[in-house]
Amino acid sequence: MTALLLNLGHAIDHLLLLVFATAVGAIASDFGLARWEDLMPYAAGAFLMFGLGSLPSGRLGDLWGRRSMMIIFFFGIGLSSIGVAFAQGPWSLALALTLVGCFASIYHPVGIPMLVQNTTTPGRTIGVNGLAGNLGIAFAALLTGFLVQLAGWRTAFVVPGILALGCGVLFMRTTAAETEAPARRAKKLLDMPDSERRRVMLVMLMSAITGSLVFNLTTNGNPQLLQDRLPQLVSQPALLGMLLAVVYTIASLAQLVVGRLIDRVAMRPLMLSILLLQPPTFLLAALTDGWIMFVAMTVFMLLVFAAIPFPDAIVARFVDDRMRSRVSGLRLAISFTASSTAVWLLGPFVKQSGFTTLLLSLAAITACSAGIAVMLPRQAPPAQAAPD
């Protein structure tokens, strides 16, 4: 039950961060704004706190306890999401979304280390967890599209908020209390030279930054990209949500495959091969429109999602469980804070330069990601579970 709720928590985490991206057009209209691009920067606080909050969240997860932090996550993100529904203008919306980001920051540095701490197959575990998170993204598009059309954008924040509260109650009742905080467990050294360890940390941080930039620019920009290249979707939010759900569901399956491969093959060539395929697909999307662009979007999102497990797999393979939450928190704080600027700049950038330039920029960013992956050691140490 604990693993199920942790995976469901990942879905909720991503779902609540992306409700706004699908509903932004309806919210902007409700607030009397002429263009969705003018409202997009008000969501930047959520993604900024999603990154900055990871650092204290990871520290508290190791030093205080992961179970306690996850209880705070479920109840905090549920209540703050319901609070978004009471926003009466852009600034109150920005404040409410920022609170969602604060509590959302708990999941990745706490929930994922809690999930992998007793497994010898971290790749498969991370792959399943990644599938859950990305199904949350797909469900965000589907659920938000229907709720916006049937009951208004405020309901789209209330319904998943209630779901999060229900999961919090179940998690509190079914998950056993920790006997000691992770930081107090016996130390376990991994056999790796210091120079190689530093190189791994650099690859982890840099790939996380570029990966987060690509992830935020695509998942937050895709709804409006589809409307730009398929104008008939402007008046059909439910159909738009369904198409995005199809894209994200197909793309999510890549994480299961990559997760299993991480446990079976060398991580470096696997990571490099996926990253090298990304730039051409973004170029194809930049040069096409209509349904051909929709196919290109499906392919580039499949490759974006396929790359997501690698930073977490690097932490699971190269970092002692005693400090995994803190290392994850540091990685997430740096990468998500940097990538939060993508959400802030997305609307103004597209308004000024258009989606073609955005897609070409994404091709350049993913080419940098491939260059970073070359630095990863050819062999990773074998996966080890944390001591009971």
pLDDT digits 0-9 by tens, 233-266 = 777 877 888 888 888 888 888 888 888 888 888 8
pLDDT reading at 384 higher than 60: no
pLDDT digits (tens, 9 = 90+) for 123-133: 788 888 888 88
265 touches 273 (CB < 8 A): no
Q: Where is pLDDT greater, at 58 or 120?
A: 58
CA 306/CA 293 separation, integer angstroms: 20
- C-alpha closest to that of 168 among 78, 232, 301: 78
Q: Could you tell me the maximum CA-CA distance found in the chain, to the nearest angstrom?
A: 60
Average of pLDDT values for 63-75?
90
- pLDDT class of 388 with cuts at 50, 70, 90: very low
* Mean pLDDT over the full length of the chain: 84
Sign of torsion, CA 274 275 280 282?
positive
Among the residue ranges 74-78, 124-128, 184-188, the one predicted with the least confidence is 184-188
Domain boundaries, given as residue ranges, for the chain: 2-176+192-373
Rama region for 290: left / alpha / beta (φ>0; ψ in -120 to 50; rest): left
Q: Give percent above pLDDT 90 in the chain.
A: 30
Q: What pLDDT sits at residue 38?
A: 83
Give 25's Cβ-side CA count (13 Å radius).
22
pLDDT reading at 149 higher than 70: yes
pLDDT reading at 183 higher than 70: no
pLDDT digits (tens, 9 = 90+) for 343-369: 777 888 888 899 999 999 999 999 988
pLDDT reading at 291 higher than 70: yes
Among the residue ranges 17-26, 85-94, 101-110, 353-362, the one predicted with the least confidence is 17-26
CATH top-level class for 2-176+192-373?
A: mainly alpha
Task: Look up tokens 């109150």; give the residue.
Answer: 92
Among the residue ranges 251-255, 296-300, 326-330, the one predicted with the least confidence is 326-330
Q: State which amino acid sits at residue 367.
A: A
**pTM score, two decimals?**
0.71
Q: What pLDDT sits at residue 378?
A: 66
Q: What pLDDT sits at residue 100?
A: 95
Q: What pLDDT sits at residue 299?
A: 95
- C-alpha closest to that of 19 among 76, 71, 122, 97: 97
Q: Give percent above pLDDT 70 in the chain.
A: 92
pLDDT digits (tens, 9 = 90+) for 308-323: 888 878 877 777 767 7
Instruction: Kindly state the tokens that stand for 36.
Output: 């969705």
pLDDT reading at 387 higher than 70: no
3-state secondary structure the chain: CHHHHHHHHHHHHHHHHHHHHHHHHHHHHHCCCCCHHHCHHHHHHHHHHHHHCHHHHHHHHHHCCHHHHHHHHHHHHHHHHHHHCCCCCHHHHHHHHHHHHHHHCCHHHHHHHHHHCCCCCHHHHHHHHHHHHHHHHHHHHHHHHHHHHHHCHHHHHHHHHHHHHHHHHHHHHHCCCCCCCHHHCCCCCCCCCHHHHHHHHHHHHHHHHHHHHHHHHHHHHHHHHHHHHCHHHHHCHHHHHHHHHHHHHHHHHHHHHHHHHHCCCCHHHHHHHHHHHHHHHHHHHHCCCHHHHHHHHHHHHHHHHHHCHHHHHHHHHHCCHHHHHHHHHHHHHHHHHHHHHHHHHHHHHHHHHCHHHHHHHHHHHHHHHHHHHCCCCCCCCCCCCCCC
Among the residue ranges 2-16, 21-35, 182-196, 207-221, the one predicted with the least confidence is 182-196
